[in-house]
């Protein structure tokens, strides 16, 4: 299975956006915003990638104004950051930021878990379980088929996010829901970058199915414990892979600086 190419910092990514304007009344900046956001949240634009207004406008054959408006909205949501004299970059969380994010996630998803669990119906739980089982079956068929794996990956992301959203919304606490919605995209990005291997997806599927089995049996306490374990496993996996990436970057930078120093000594009189 081919890995996605790594983009060097300072380079504009080879963006491929699908912008759909179904009705004449649809605001073009809304469509551009939705297209860029979808590309970020599905991993087609990787964390730490640079965005250029002009490049996006040229690709879509539109003016820079709707692109600028869309980018400003994404900046307001924390998905893009403005780097002085360089431009816009997609958010790439540090190890410390990821720890803080998952500490918050644990509290947000579990504080009203029991109330949420009681507010959802048995049919809703069975429906989600059937969807996860179908994805698990599809994943077992992917083998080395990259296109099929990508389709399964996107389906898993959609159902996974829908399940977690559903539990939060079922709490009925509008302020808690709003707070969760402010961080869920960052959670999504961290999962895309660090835990979307076939092995991790299979593990997450098994965990979701086990949680749903407990909810179907009305064993809310055990379901909550399993959800806590699920969040902790993702947290540990994200953190470990982030630190591994940081070590690789440091080694690369050290190797490069050592090579430059050695070359300088060789050329010295």
> Are 143 and 195 in contact, with CB atoms under 8 Å apart?
no
Task: With cut-offs at 50, 70 and 90, classify the pLDDT of residue 123.
Answer: very high
pTM for this entry: 0.78
* Nearest Cα residue to 238 out of 165, 189, 181: 189
% of the chain surpassing 90 pLDDT: 56
pLDDT of 169 strictly over 90: yes
pLDDT of 1 strictly over 80: no
Q: Please tell me what DSSP assigns to residue 81.
A: E
What's the pLDDT tens digit per position in 30-41? Answer: 999 999 999 999
Q: Given CA atoms 91, 93, 99, 100 in this order, what sign does their dihedral have?
A: negative
What's the pLDDT tens digit per position in 199-253? Answer: 889 999 999 999 999 999 999 999 999 999 999 999 998 878 787 775 665 555 4
The predicted pLDDT at position 60 comes to: 87
Beta-carbon count within 10 A of 194 CB: 21
Tell me the domains of the chain and their CATH numbers.
Answer: 1-92 (1.10.10.10), 95-247 (1.20.120.530)
């Amino acid at each position: 299975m081919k890995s996605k190419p790594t983009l060097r910092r300072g380079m504009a990514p080879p963006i491929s956006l699908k912008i759909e304007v179904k009705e004449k009344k649809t605001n073009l900046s809304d469509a551009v915003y939705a297209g860029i956001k979808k590309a970020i949240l599905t991993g087609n634009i990787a964390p730490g990638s640079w965005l250029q207004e002009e490049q996006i406008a040229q690709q879509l054959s539109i003016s820079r104004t709707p692109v600028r408006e869309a980018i400003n909205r994404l900046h307001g949501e924390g998905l893009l950051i403005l780097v002085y004299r360089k431009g816009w970059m997609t958010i790439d969380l540090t190890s410390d930021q990821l720890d803080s994010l998952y500490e918050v996630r644990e509290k947000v998803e579990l504080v009203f878990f029991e109330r949420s669990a009681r507010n959802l119906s048995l049919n809703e739980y069975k429906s989600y379980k059937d969807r996860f089982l179908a994805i698990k079956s599809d994943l077992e068929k992917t083998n080395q088929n990259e296109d099929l794996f990508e389709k399964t990956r996107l389906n898993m992301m959609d159902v996974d996010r829908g399940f977690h959203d559903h539990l939060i919304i079922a709490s009925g606490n509008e302020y808690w829901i709003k707070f969760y919605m402010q961080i869920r995209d960052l959670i999504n990005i961290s999962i895309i970058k660090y835990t979307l291997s076939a092995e991790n997806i299979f593990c997450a599927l098994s965990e979701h199915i086990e949680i749903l089995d407990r909810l179907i049996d009305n064993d809310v306490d055990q379901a909550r414990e399993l959800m806590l374990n699920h969040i902790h496993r993702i947290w540990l996996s994200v953190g470990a892979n982030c630190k591994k990436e940081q070590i690789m970057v440091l080694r690369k930078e050290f190797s490069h600086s050592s090579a430059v120093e050695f070359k300088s000594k060789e050329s010295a009189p």
